[in-house]
């Protein structure tokens, strides 16, 4: 190999060594795992923060070890991206950033990025996904994306397929793709769109179902789901890694578990540190009679915990939420619509206020110390690290900044900002 | 502004100043009366031996500045002081006539010109062609004669690309998507016209990128300031294609074949009978596999992972073909109509789509199709009711259908292998069809009395767009996707020009724009969207000034100014369809366009001639309509924001040695910078004063032609041509953001060899393009063809 590198120019040689490095990465991570298991706490993983920042005309990656102090400029970027990645998701083990993109009817060239031992970013692995996605998450050592309302390859008259991309993080981001029919999955003749991916840790994952009439493409074209005729029920499905349906959880205490915004289905299902899964519902549908709240699926349980019900709406003066993120322990951060009960939520209702819920204590607090809701022009994908939430916010007239939120007090403090950027679209932590 | 004038004043000769001074006065105000030294005037007609009018002949009093150009009917009017002169009448293709003239009072003179078989035997001041007439108008305009390009296999876009200030950006080979950029403006800021009618709604199958250059008589590029005849909200300028409409009997047929299995053919034929009945037919066809090689990363379809190395691969799904017919029938030279023509244009195209906007995303089955039908009616009458009142009316109705097919359940790699997908669509399943219909009607009234020209122009256009196939449009579609959108626009313009002599002229014009749009808007108050069709209107006024004067017979100074507008489109007025509130307070995008040109055109001797044109432009564009997305408002809205300043120059130079050799080139530099300091919310912008990203700003062309006469028999011409294109590297994003992606500096060379026989009846042309096999990109990632060859044969007969 050395002789071949000699004959190439530096850039190619660098790329080549990066490729070798990357393919070795998975091996070394696996080796790390082994060490961790056999020798507890012997290796404390080091880490760095990865920021995806948008300029006015380009998108960039920045890296920093400290989100509390040390402001950045967008020109400090370590990489310009060819396309504006829509969604970055960050996995712990193996530690990678996965950049997902799919737009305008074209497949997306997605990125997988890991950090080298000297804390620099490795050359990204580029991989292609050919289906749109409305929801995503990690399951075992895979990143999963899903979209509903797809037309199966063998039957142009149907559009109830859900298509998954299954990206193997331990195998160079190689991607498998699979579609499953969803018609009558809930036994009532309706189709389902999946929202959220939560790894149960037992070879299964959970996903919220948006159950609707089969999508009638001839009437509306478009969206993943059809008309919602059962707005007062919540369904959750458990799948194994072959996408075989294991069971359905159902309750009439909540509306469906998904936050809607245009074509997106935001996850409203997530796992606490003790392995129990909380199924939230932001009661998006105007027709639902259920307040927004949450149910619980205990670790490895095959039904909702009948004892657990948390009516969140009664603690929030009627404000409803659309996004849910786990912070630490039993703390979750929720993104709320800006209008209360008196004004119904529409597809255009703004959502720029935030609250912290303690799901065990069933308490709620509005987040303080961040810009006022009417000042927030944009937010990015937050990350939880060391018991704190790191949340990118753009306030009117200010550079985008990371706010550090302590879930115990729901108080936020301003961390670093990135001058020259119009948004920090995501922040995550990568270890090495 | 003073500094620019100082530049000219540095050339201080007495005569220069004498002529310069009134010229500068004109820039500010048109003098109420311009002192005329005499009342003498010569008028009449220039005709052929057969009595046919000679178009645009030059009628000059030798060794004076007095001259005139005959109109399209051979009529001329030449005011001059009384005296003894030598009259010189010349026109391209005719032998010049010189005769003494004793001018007293009002005289008429009919001049007969004999055809010159050896046209342009040596460099002479030839008759003012329409091209030259346009070039010498007060506007910052470049008109090129398309006829010398008729032996090439070029499309109109490639001809345009040779004009200073113009940059064509193609995404690939034959038939690929093309963007015309004019002094930094592109897209909605530039309007395309064909014979004065907007080309909007013509559909993809009849566009500049597939129309052969042989369909055109000339191409006019108005940089910034556009005359009222081109009625449109063209903020950044306008391109007008003037099609070939000969009033005699002719046949022009050609076929070319070349690399990548490219076939092109065209046929033009026409006949005008003595009775005035005229019939014209243009038909053409383009076909190419576009199977050129590109260098890109390879996808392993089984794993979905890309190679890191790039490899050379051949394009395998990029077949393009299109066919079009333009038929005209009508009458000319009638008492009630100088011209009444009915024409129909039928066209279709089919294009495989090989890749997305990144070349790494490759397709094996996607395609787009378009077809259109464009009936049109044209009426023209000179001396309507009173002498010198000319009316022309044109109405065009175009219907086009554009479809986009993505039906295969496959994922392709550049090697041509594919994987079966589990859902339909390589991108997203679509058999979508969109119907556009467009009605344009323009009325133009011109009146001339003495040195005064008045033009009134009104253009009404009504554009309607509707997606028709609801079942299979792109999956992100909503109910609104299938609702109709219409955009009705009226642009009225009034222009006054004073041209007391060939030496100077001044003009002022005003335009009034009205737009009425209709489209869907979400009126829901619940979580389900409900669309309703609504209507909004908008209007504004613009104005402009221009002046030109001849400082010396060979040196012309031009200046023009326009406050121009681009009106909001329907999506901008309604905001995003999902928004409840549109942006009713929107202002039109507006620009102050200022142009100065200095043209020098002189035959230094019988053997040598030079042409020089320096154009300076200043554009101050404000109130860009931009889509803003703010989470606190729940979605997108449109706002006026941004200011861009462009200060640039175009230089063109050309040298002629007899009729044997010519060499020239043009060079464009445009310093286009963002002058907005703050974002909408007040955040400081890091790219204040940055150069506009993803816009070429430094580029040029050079060419040379050498011709040998009578080598292959009498009347034969063998020409060797060379053409070079240069484009300087530019950034994809704002430079201050610190990105490293650029579109690289490129230099490419073309060679042509043309043999014309029997006085231009037979032609054989061989072309070699991009002979150095450079990797060429107009857009990031999208590689254009490498070295290619083309052979063309052509037969041209006319009487």
Residue B626: per-residue pLDDT: 79
Percent of chain B with pLDDT over 90: 55
Q: Which of A153, A262, A399 sits opposite B421 (nearest CB)?
A: A153
Q: What is the pLDDT of residues B62-83, one digit of tens each?
A: 877 777 878 777 888 888 888 8
**CB-based contact B299 A128, cutoff 8 Å:** yes
Are B528 and A351 in contact (CB < 8 Å)? no
Chain B residues with CB inside 8 Å of A105's CB?
406, 425, 427-428, 430, 474-476
Q: Please choose, from the candidates A52, A53, A41, the residue with its C-alpha nearest in 3D space to the C-alpha of residue A90.
A: A52
Residues 98-137 of chain B whose Cβ lies under 8 A from any Cβ of chain A = none
Mutate to test the interface with A, among B299, B574, B631, B678 (most CBs of A within 10 A): B631
Write out pLDDT tens, residues B144-193: 889 889 999 899 999 999 899 999 999 999 999 899 999 888 888 899 99
- Record the tokens describing residue A8, joined without a space: 């190439």
Q: Residue A104's CB: how many other CB atoms inside 10 A? A: 11
Which comes out higher in pLDDT, residue B319 or A2? B319
DSSP code per residue over A9-68: -HHHHHHHHHHHHHHHHHHHHHHHHHHHHHSTTSSPPPEEEEEEEE-SS-EEEEEES-SS
Q: Indicate yes or no: CB of B527 within 8 angstroms of CB of A378.
A: no
Q: How far is CA A266 from CA A150, A260, B525, in A?
A: 18, 6, 21
How far does chain A reach from its first CA to its final CA, in angstroms?
A: 26
pLDDT score, position B399: 94
- Under DSSP, the state recorded for B735 is G
What stretch of H or E contains B6?
A: helix B2-9
The nearest CA of chain B is from the CA of A162 a distance in Å of 9
Is B526 in contact with A344 (Cβ distance < 8 A)? yes
User: What is the sign of the dihedral through the CA atoms of A313, A316, A317 and A321?
Assistant: negative
Least confident of A262-266, A416-420, B444-448, B740-744: A262-266
What pLDDT shows up at residue B127? 42
Contact A376 B631 (CB under 8 A): yes
- ipTM associated with this complex: 0.86
- Separation in Å, CA of B52 to nearest CA in chain A: 58
**Domain annotation for chain B: domains and CATH numbers:** 1-31 (no CATH), 39-117 (2.60.40.1120), 141-287+296-301+321-537+558-798 (2.40.170.20)
Instruction: Give the pLDDT of residue B634.
Output: 66
Exposed/middle/buried for residue B626 (C-beta within 10 Å: 0-12, 13-18, 19+):
middle
Confidence of residue B479 (pLDDT cuts 50, 70, 90): low
Q: How confident is the model at residue B290 (pLDDT cuts 50, 70, 90)?
A: very high
Per-residue pLDDT at A75? 96
Show which of residues 352-371 on chain B sit within 8 Å of chain A, judged by CB atoms.
Answer: 356-358, 360-361
Q: Give the pLDDT score at B754.
A: 96
Q: Cα-Cα-Cα-Cα dihedral of B687, B690, B696, B699, to 10°?
A: -170
Closest Cα in chain A, distance from residue B486 (Å): 21
Q: Is B15 on the interface with A (CB under 8 A)?
A: no
Phi-psi bin for A410: left (phi > 0), alpha (psi -120 to 50), beta? left
Its sign, for the CA torsion B73, B79, B84, B85, is negative
Which range of A70-74, B89-93, B274-278 scores highest in mean pLDDT? It is A70-74
Nearest to B739 among A80, A179, A221 (CB): A80
Q: Which residues of chain A have pLDDT under 50?
A: 1-42, 219-221
Asked if A153 and B475 come within 8 Å (Cβ–Cβ), the reply is no
Least confident of A257-271, B105-119, B235-249, B577-591: B577-591
Q: Give the per-residue pLDDT at B536.
A: 82
| Closest CA in chain B for residue A259 | B527
pLDDT score of B131 more than 90: no
Instruction: Give the pLDDT of residue B478.
Output: 62
Pair of tokens at residue B201? 């709604």
Q: How far is A186 from chain B (nearest CA, A)?
A: 22
> φ, ψ for residue B481 (rounded to 5)?
-55, -35
Chain A contacts of B428, Cβ < 8 Å?
A: 105, 132
Residue A166 has a pLDDT of: 96
Question: Which of A73, A105, A174 lies at the smallest CB-CB distance from B430?
Answer: A105
Among the partner residues B411, B423, B430, nearest to A161 by beta-carbon distance: B423
The predicted pLDDT at position B38 comes to: 53
Query: Which residue among B422, B472, B528 sits closest to A152, beta carbon to beta carbon?
Result: B422
Residue B469: which pLDDT band, with cuts at 50, 70 and 90?
low
Spatial contact of A116 and A167, defined as CB atoms under 8 Å apart: no
Q: Which pLDDT tens digit goes with each residue over B583-628? A: 556 788 999 999 999 999 888 888 899 999 999 999 999 988 877 7
E-only strand ranges, B366-429? 367-381, 389-406, 410-412, 418-420
* Whole-angstrom distance, CA of residue B758 vs CA of residue B751: 24
Please tell me which of the candidates A77, A82, A224 has its beta carbon nearest to residue B738: A77
pLDDT, position B417 = 95
- Residue of B361, B632, B741 with shortest CB distance to A376: B632
Alpha carbon distance B221, B162 (integer Å): 11
Confidence at residue A179, expressed as pLDDT on a 0 to 100 scale? 92
Q: What is the pLDDT of residue B36?
A: 40
Percent with pLDDT over 70 in chain B: 89
Whether the pLDDT of residue B395 is over 60: the answer is yes
A160 to chain B: nearest residue by CA? B423
Torsion sign across C-alpha atoms A407, A411, A417, A421: positive
Using the Cβ of B782 and the Cβ atoms of chain A, whether some distance falls under 8 Å is answered with no
pLDDT exceeds 80 at position B5: no
Helix H or strand E encompassing B507:
strand B504-522
Per-residue model confidence as pLDDT tens digits over B702-715: 999 999 999 989 88
Q: Dihedrals φ, ψ of B397, to 5°? A: -125, 125
Q: Do the Cβ atoms of B423 and A150 come within 8 Å?
A: yes
Instruction: Quote the distance between the C-alpha of residue B208 and its chain's center.
Output: 9
Contact A221 B471 (CB under 8 A): yes
């Amino acid at each position: 190999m050395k002789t071949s590198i000699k004959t190439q120019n530096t850039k190619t040689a660098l790329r080549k060594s990066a490729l070798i490095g990357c393919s070795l990465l998975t091996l070394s991570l696996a080796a790390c795992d082994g060490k961790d298991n056999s020798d507890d706490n012997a290796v404390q993983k080091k880490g760095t923060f990865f920021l995806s920042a948008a300029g006015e005309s380009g998108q960039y990656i920045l890296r920093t070890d400290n989100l509390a102090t040390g402001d950045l400029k967008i020109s400090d970027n370590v990489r310009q991206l060819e396309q504006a990645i829509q969604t970055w998701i960050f996995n712990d083990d193996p530690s990678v950033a996965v950049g997902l993109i799919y737009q305008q009817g074209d497949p997306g060239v997605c990125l997988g990025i890991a950090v080298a031992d000297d804390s620099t970013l490795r050359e990204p692995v580029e991989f292609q996904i050919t289906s749109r996605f409305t929801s995503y998450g990690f399951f075992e050592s895979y990143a999963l994306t899903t979209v509903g309302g797809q037309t199966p390859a063998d039957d142009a008259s149907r559009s109830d397929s859900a298509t998954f991309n299954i990206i193997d993080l331990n195998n160079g981001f190689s991607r498998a793709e699979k579609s499953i029919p969803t018609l009558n999955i809930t036994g009532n003749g309706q189709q389902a769109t999946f929202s959220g991916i939560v790894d149960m840790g037992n070879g299964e994952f959970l996903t919220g179902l948006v159950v609707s009439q089969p999508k009638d493409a001839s009437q509306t074209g478009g969206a993943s789901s059809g008309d919602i005729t059962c707005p007062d029920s919540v369904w959750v499905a458990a799948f194994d890694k072959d996408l075989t349906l294991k069971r359905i959880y159902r309750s009439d205490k909540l509306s469906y578990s998904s936050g809607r915004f245009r074509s997106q289905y935001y996850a409203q299902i997530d796992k606490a540190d003790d392995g129990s899964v909380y199924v939230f519902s932001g009661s998006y549908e105007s027709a639902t009679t259920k307040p927004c709240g949450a149910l619980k699926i205990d670790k490895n349980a095959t039904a909702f915990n009948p004892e657990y019900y948390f009516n969140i709406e009664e603690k929030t003066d009627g404000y409803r939420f659309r996004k849910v993120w786990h912070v630490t322990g039993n703390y979750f951060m929720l993104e709320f619509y800006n209008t209360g009960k008196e004004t119904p939520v529409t597809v255009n209702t703004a959502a720029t206020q935030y609250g912290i819920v303690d799901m065990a204590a069933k308490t709620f607090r509005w987040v303080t110390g961040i810009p006022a809701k009417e000042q927030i022009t944009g937010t990015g994908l937050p990350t939880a690290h060391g018991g704190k939430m790191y949340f990118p916010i753009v306030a009117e007239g200010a550079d985008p900044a990371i706010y550090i939120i302590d879930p115990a007090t729901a108080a936020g403090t301003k961390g670093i900002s990135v001058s020259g950027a119009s948004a920090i679209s995501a922040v995550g932590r990568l270890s090495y | 502004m003073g500094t620019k004038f100082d530049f000219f004043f540095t050339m201080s000769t007495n005569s220069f100043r004498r002529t310069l001074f009134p010229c500068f006065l004109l820039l500010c105000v048109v003098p109420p009366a311009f002192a005329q030294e005499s009342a003498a005037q010569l008028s009449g007609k220039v005709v052929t031996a057969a009595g046919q009018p000679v178009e645009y002949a030059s009628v000059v009093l030798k060794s004076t500045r007095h001259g005139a150009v005959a109109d399209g009917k051979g009529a001329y009017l030449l005011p001059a002081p009384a005296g003894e002169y030598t009259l010189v009448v010349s026109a391209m293709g005719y032998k010049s006539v010189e005769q003494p003239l004793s001018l007293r009072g009002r005289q008429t003179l009919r001049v007969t010109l004999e055809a010159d078989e050896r046209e342009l035997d040596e460099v002479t001041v030839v008759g003012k062609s329409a091209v030259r007439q346009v070039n010498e108008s007060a506007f910052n305009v470049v008109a090129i004669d398309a006829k010398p390009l008729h032996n090439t296999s070029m499309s109109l876009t490639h001809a345009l690309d040779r004009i200073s200030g113009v940059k064509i950006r193609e995404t690939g080979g034959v038939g690929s998507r093309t963007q015309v950029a004019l002094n930094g403006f592109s897209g909605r800021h530039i309007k395309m016209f064909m014979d004065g009618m907007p080309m909007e709604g013509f559909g993809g199958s009849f566009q500049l990128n597939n129309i052969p250059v042989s369909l055109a008589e000339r191409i006019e590029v108005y940089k910034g300031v556009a005359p009222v005849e081109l009625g449109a909200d063209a903020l950044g300028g306008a391109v007008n294609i003037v099609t070939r409409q000969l009033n005699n009997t002719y046949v022009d047929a050609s076929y070319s074949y070349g690399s990548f299995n490219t076939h092109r053919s065209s046929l033009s034929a026409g006949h005008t009978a003595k009775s005035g009945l005229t019939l014209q037919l243009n038909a053409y066809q383009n076909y190419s596999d576009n199977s050129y090689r590109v260098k890109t990363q390879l996808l392993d379809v089984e794993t979905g992972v890309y190679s890191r190395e790039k490899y050379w691969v051949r394009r395998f799904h990029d077949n393009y073909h299109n066919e079009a017919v333009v038929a005209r029938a009508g009458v000319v030279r009638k008492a009630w109509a100088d011209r009444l023509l009915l024409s129909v244009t039928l066209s279709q195209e089919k294009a495989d789509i090989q890749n997305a906007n990144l070349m790494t995303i490759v397709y094996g089955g996607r395609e787009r199709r378009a077809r259109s039908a464009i009936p049109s009616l044209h009426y023209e009458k000179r001396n309507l009711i009173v002498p010198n009142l000319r009316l022309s009316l044109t109405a065009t109705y175009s219907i086009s259908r554009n479809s986009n097919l993505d039906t295969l359940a496959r994922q392709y790699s550049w090697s041509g292998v594919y994987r079966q997908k589990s859902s339909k669509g390589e991108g997203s399943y679509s058999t979508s069809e969109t119907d556009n219909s467009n009605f344009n009607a323009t009325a133009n009234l011109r009146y001339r009395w003495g040195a005064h020209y008045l033009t009134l122009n009104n253009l009404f256009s009504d554009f309607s767009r509707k997606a028709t196939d609801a079942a299979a449009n792109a999956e992100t579609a909503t109910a609104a996707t299938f609702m109709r959108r219409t955009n009705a626009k009226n642009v009225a313009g009034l222009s006054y020009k004073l041209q007391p002599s060939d030496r100077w002229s001044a003009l002022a014009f005003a335009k009034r724009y009205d737009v009425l749009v209709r489209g869907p808007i979400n009126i829901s108050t619940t979580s389900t969207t409900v669309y309703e069709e609504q209507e909004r209107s908008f209007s504004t006024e613009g104005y402009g000034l221009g002046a030109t004067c001849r400082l010396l017979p060979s040196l012309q100074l031009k200046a023009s100014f326009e406050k121009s507008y681009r009106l909001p489109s329907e999506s901008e007025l309604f905001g995003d369809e999902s928004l409840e509130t549109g942006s009713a307070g929107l202002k039109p995008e507006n620009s102050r366009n200022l142009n100065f040109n200095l043209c020098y055109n002189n035959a230094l001797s019988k053997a040598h001639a030079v042409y020089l044109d320096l154009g300076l432009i200043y554009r101050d564009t404000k109130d860009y309509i931009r889509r803003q997305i703010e989470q606190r408002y729940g979605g997108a809205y449109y706002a006026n924001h941004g200011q861009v300043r462009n200060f640039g120059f175009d230089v063109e130079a050309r040298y002629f040695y007899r009729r044997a050799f010519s060499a020239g080139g043009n060079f464009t530099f445009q310093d286009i910078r963002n002058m907005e300091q703050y974002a909408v919310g007040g955040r400081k912008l890091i790219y204040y004063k940055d150069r506009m990203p993803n816009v070429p700003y430094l580029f040029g062309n050079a060419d040379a032609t050498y011709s040998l006469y009578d080598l292959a028999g009498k009347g034969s011409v063998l020409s060797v041509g060379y053409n070079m294109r240069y484009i300087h590297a530019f950034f994809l994003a704002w430079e201050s953001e610190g990105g490293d992606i650029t579109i690289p500096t490129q230099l490419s060379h073309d060679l042509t060899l043309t043999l014309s026989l029997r006085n231009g009846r037979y032609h054989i042309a061989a072309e070699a393009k991009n002979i150095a096999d450079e990797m060429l990109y107009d857009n990031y990632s999208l590689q254009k063809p490498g070295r290619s060859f083309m052979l063309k044969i052509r037969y041209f007969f006319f009487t």
